[in-house]
Amino acid sequence: MTNVSSTADDILACARTLIIAGGYNGFSYADVADVVGIRKPSIHHHFASKVDLVRTLVSRYRAEAEAGLSALERNVADPRDQLKGYVGYWEACINDATAPFCVCALLACEQPILPEEVALEVRAHFRSLASWLTSVMERGKRKGQLHLSSAAKIEAEGFMATIHGAMLSARAYGDPKMFGVITAPLLDRLSARH
Protein backbone atom coordinates (compact mmCIF):
# COMPACT_ATOMS: atom_id res chain seq x y z
CA MET A 1 0.00 0.00 0.00
CA THR A 2 2.94 2.35 0.59
CA ASN A 3 3.79 2.21 -3.10
CA VAL A 4 0.24 3.20 -4.07
CA SER A 5 0.17 6.22 -1.78
CA SER A 6 3.73 7.08 -2.80
CA THR A 7 2.70 7.08 -6.46
CA ALA A 8 -0.33 9.24 -5.69
CA ASP A 9 1.90 11.62 -3.73
CA ASP A 10 4.36 11.75 -6.64
CA ILE A 11 1.49 12.54 -9.03
CA LEU A 12 0.21 15.30 -6.74
CA ALA A 13 3.70 16.80 -6.29
CA CYS A 14 4.21 16.77 -10.04
CA ALA A 15 0.83 18.39 -10.70
CA ARG A 16 1.63 21.10 -8.15
CA THR A 17 4.93 21.89 -9.88
CA LEU A 18 3.27 21.93 -13.30
CA ILE A 19 0.45 24.21 -12.10
CA ILE A 20 2.97 26.64 -10.60
CA ALA A 21 4.86 26.61 -13.90
CA GLY A 22 1.89 26.91 -16.27
CA GLY A 23 -1.50 27.00 -14.58
CA TYR A 24 -4.46 24.63 -14.69
CA ASN A 25 -4.54 24.25 -18.47
CA GLY A 26 -0.75 24.21 -18.72
CA PHE A 27 -0.42 20.48 -18.13
CA SER A 28 -1.97 17.17 -19.06
CA TYR A 29 -1.88 13.62 -17.77
CA ALA A 30 0.73 12.91 -20.46
CA ASP A 31 2.99 15.57 -18.87
CA VAL A 32 2.51 14.04 -15.43
CA ALA A 33 3.17 10.53 -16.78
CA ASP A 34 6.42 11.69 -18.39
CA VAL A 35 7.71 13.39 -15.25
CA VAL A 36 6.63 10.70 -12.76
CA GLY A 37 7.68 7.87 -15.07
CA ILE A 38 4.37 6.04 -15.20
CA ARG A 39 1.72 5.42 -17.85
CA LYS A 40 -1.39 7.60 -18.14
CA PRO A 41 -3.73 4.75 -17.08
CA SER A 42 -1.81 4.59 -13.80
CA ILE A 43 -2.71 8.21 -13.12
CA HIS A 44 -6.38 7.44 -13.82
CA HIS A 45 -6.13 4.62 -11.28
CA HIS A 46 -5.39 7.23 -8.60
CA PHE A 47 -7.32 10.21 -9.98
CA ALA A 48 -10.18 9.50 -12.38
CA SER A 49 -9.93 12.93 -13.97
CA LYS A 50 -7.83 16.08 -13.98
CA VAL A 51 -10.58 17.72 -11.91
CA ASP A 52 -10.18 15.00 -9.25
CA LEU A 53 -6.41 15.40 -9.29
CA VAL A 54 -6.40 19.18 -8.90
CA ARG A 55 -9.27 19.19 -6.38
CA THR A 56 -7.34 16.69 -4.25
CA LEU A 57 -4.16 18.72 -4.67
CA VAL A 58 -5.84 21.95 -3.50
CA SER A 59 -7.60 20.18 -0.64
CA ARG A 60 -4.28 18.76 0.60
CA TYR A 61 -2.54 22.08 0.06
CA ARG A 62 -5.18 23.79 2.18
CA ALA A 63 -4.81 21.18 4.93
CA GLU A 64 -1.01 21.62 4.89
CA ALA A 65 -1.39 25.40 5.08
CA GLU A 66 -3.84 25.14 7.98
CA ALA A 67 -1.47 22.77 9.81
CA GLY A 68 1.41 25.17 9.21
CA LEU A 69 -0.57 28.13 10.56
CA SER A 70 -1.60 26.09 13.61
CA ALA A 71 2.04 25.19 14.25
CA LEU A 72 3.01 28.84 13.90
CA GLU A 73 0.40 29.76 16.51
CA ARG A 74 1.59 27.03 18.88
CA ASN A 75 5.26 28.00 18.57
CA VAL A 76 5.02 31.78 18.35
CA ALA A 77 2.91 33.66 20.91
CA ASP A 78 3.27 37.23 19.62
CA PRO A 79 0.75 38.06 16.83
CA ARG A 80 3.23 40.45 15.19
CA ASP A 81 5.82 37.65 15.10
CA GLN A 82 3.21 35.27 13.68
CA LEU A 83 2.72 37.65 10.74
CA LYS A 84 6.50 37.97 10.35
CA GLY A 85 6.76 34.16 10.43
CA TYR A 86 4.12 33.82 7.73
CA VAL A 87 5.85 36.39 5.51
CA GLY A 88 9.24 34.81 6.29
CA TYR A 89 7.98 31.40 5.21
CA TRP A 90 7.01 32.72 1.78
CA GLU A 91 10.15 34.82 1.47
CA ALA A 92 12.31 31.73 2.06
CA CYS A 93 10.25 29.64 -0.39
CA ILE A 94 10.55 32.30 -3.08
CA ASN A 95 14.27 32.85 -2.48
CA ASP A 96 15.21 29.17 -2.66
CA ALA A 97 12.53 28.38 -5.29
CA THR A 98 11.06 25.50 -3.24
CA ALA A 99 7.58 27.01 -3.56
CA PRO A 100 7.96 30.19 -5.60
CA PHE A 101 4.22 30.86 -5.70
CA CYS A 102 1.09 29.89 -3.80
CA VAL A 103 -0.72 27.30 -5.93
CA CYS A 104 -4.10 28.66 -4.78
CA ALA A 105 -3.16 32.21 -5.77
CA LEU A 106 -2.25 30.98 -9.24
CA LEU A 107 -5.48 29.02 -9.54
CA ALA A 108 -7.46 32.02 -8.28
CA CYS A 109 -6.19 33.93 -11.32
CA GLU A 110 -7.82 31.24 -13.45
CA GLN A 111 -11.08 31.14 -11.48
CA PRO A 112 -13.32 31.83 -14.51
CA ILE A 113 -12.06 28.72 -16.33
CA LEU A 114 -11.71 26.36 -13.37
CA PRO A 115 -14.12 23.48 -12.86
CA GLU A 116 -16.47 24.31 -9.97
CA GLU A 117 -15.08 21.52 -7.74
CA VAL A 118 -11.61 23.08 -7.96
CA ALA A 119 -12.90 26.64 -7.61
CA LEU A 120 -14.70 25.69 -4.37
CA GLU A 121 -11.45 24.34 -2.88
CA VAL A 122 -9.54 27.47 -3.92
CA ARG A 123 -12.17 29.73 -2.31
CA ALA A 124 -12.07 27.60 0.84
CA HIS A 125 -8.29 28.13 1.05
CA PHE A 126 -8.67 31.91 0.81
CA ARG A 127 -11.46 31.95 3.38
CA SER A 128 -9.39 29.88 5.78
CA LEU A 129 -6.30 32.05 5.36
CA ALA A 130 -8.34 35.27 5.72
CA SER A 131 -9.95 33.90 8.88
CA TRP A 132 -6.57 33.10 10.43
CA LEU A 133 -5.13 36.48 9.47
CA THR A 134 -8.22 38.23 10.91
CA SER A 135 -7.79 36.42 14.23
CA VAL A 136 -4.09 37.37 14.33
CA MET A 137 -4.94 41.00 13.57
CA GLU A 138 -7.62 41.06 16.29
CA ARG A 139 -5.29 39.55 18.90
CA GLY A 140 -2.47 41.87 17.91
CA LYS A 141 -4.71 44.89 18.23
CA ARG A 142 -6.03 43.77 21.63
CA LYS A 143 -2.47 43.28 22.90
CA GLY A 144 -1.36 46.64 21.51
CA GLN A 145 1.18 44.93 19.20
CA LEU A 146 -0.50 45.71 15.89
CA HIS A 147 -1.90 49.03 14.85
CA LEU A 148 -4.74 48.71 12.40
CA SER A 149 -6.12 51.53 10.31
CA SER A 150 -9.23 49.51 9.37
CA ALA A 151 -11.29 46.66 10.80
CA ALA A 152 -9.25 43.48 11.36
CA LYS A 153 -11.08 41.65 8.54
CA ILE A 154 -10.25 44.41 6.05
CA GLU A 155 -6.63 44.56 7.23
CA ALA A 156 -6.41 40.77 6.88
CA GLU A 157 -7.74 40.84 3.32
CA GLY A 158 -5.31 43.64 2.43
CA PHE A 159 -2.43 41.76 4.03
CA MET A 160 -3.28 38.59 2.10
CA ALA A 161 -3.60 40.52 -1.17
CA THR A 162 -0.25 42.22 -0.59
CA ILE A 163 1.52 38.92 0.08
CA HIS A 164 0.09 37.36 -3.08
CA GLY A 165 0.80 40.53 -5.06
CA ALA A 166 4.39 40.47 -3.82
CA MET A 167 4.69 36.90 -5.12
CA LEU A 168 3.43 38.09 -8.49
CA SER A 169 5.87 41.01 -8.56
CA ALA A 170 8.81 38.78 -7.64
CA ARG A 171 7.83 36.48 -10.50
CA ALA A 172 7.18 39.30 -12.97
CA TYR A 173 10.54 40.95 -12.28
CA GLY A 174 12.37 37.63 -12.05
CA ASP A 175 13.75 38.91 -8.75
CA PRO A 176 12.96 37.07 -5.50
CA LYS A 177 14.11 40.12 -3.51
CA MET A 178 11.05 42.06 -4.74
CA PHE A 179 8.94 40.01 -2.33
CA GLY A 180 10.73 41.49 0.69
CA VAL A 181 10.83 44.96 -0.84
CA ILE A 182 7.03 44.91 -0.97
CA THR A 183 6.26 43.09 2.29
CA ALA A 184 8.69 44.85 4.65
CA PRO A 185 6.75 48.17 4.62
CA LEU A 186 3.52 46.25 5.27
CA LEU A 187 4.91 44.72 8.45
CA ASP A 188 6.46 48.05 9.47
CA ARG A 189 3.12 49.85 9.04
CA LEU A 190 1.26 47.30 11.17
CA SER A 191 3.92 47.51 13.89
CA ALA A 192 4.29 51.31 13.90
CA ARG A 193 2.95 53.29 16.82
CA HIS A 194 0.57 56.02 15.70
pLDDT confidence tier of residue 193, bands split at 50, 70 and 90: low
pLDDT at 38 over 50: yes
pLDDT in tens, 141-190: 999 999 999 999 999 999 999 999 999 999 999 999 999 999 999 999 99
pLDDT at 4 over 90: no
pLDDT in tens, 125-152: 999 999 999 999 999 999 999 999 999 9
pLDDT confidence tier of residue 1, bands split at 50, 70 and 90: very low
Q: 191, 189, 87, 85: which is closest to 146 by C-alpha? A: 191
pLDDT at 98 over 90: no
Q: What is the DSSP annotation of 119-173?
A: HHHHHHHHHHHHHHHHHHHHHHHHTTS---SS-HHHHHHHHHHHHHHHHHHHHHH
Percentage above 90 pLDDT, the chain = 93
Q: Looking at the whole model, is its pTM more than 0.85? A: yes
148 contacts 155 by C-beta, under 8 angstroms = yes
Long-range own/partner contacts, residues 48-51 (CB < 8 A, 24 or more apart): 51/115, 51/117, 51/118
Give the model's pLDDT for residue 73.
94
Could you state, in order of their start, the residue ranges of all structural domains in the chain? 51-190
Q: What is the mean pLDDT of the chain?
A: 94
Give the model's pLDDT for residue 100.
82
Burial label, 123 (beta-carbon count in 10 A; 0-12, 13-18, 19+): middle
122 contacts 104 by C-beta, under 8 angstroms = yes
Percentage above 70 pLDDT, the chain = 96
* CATH hierarchy code of domain 51-190: 1.10.357.10
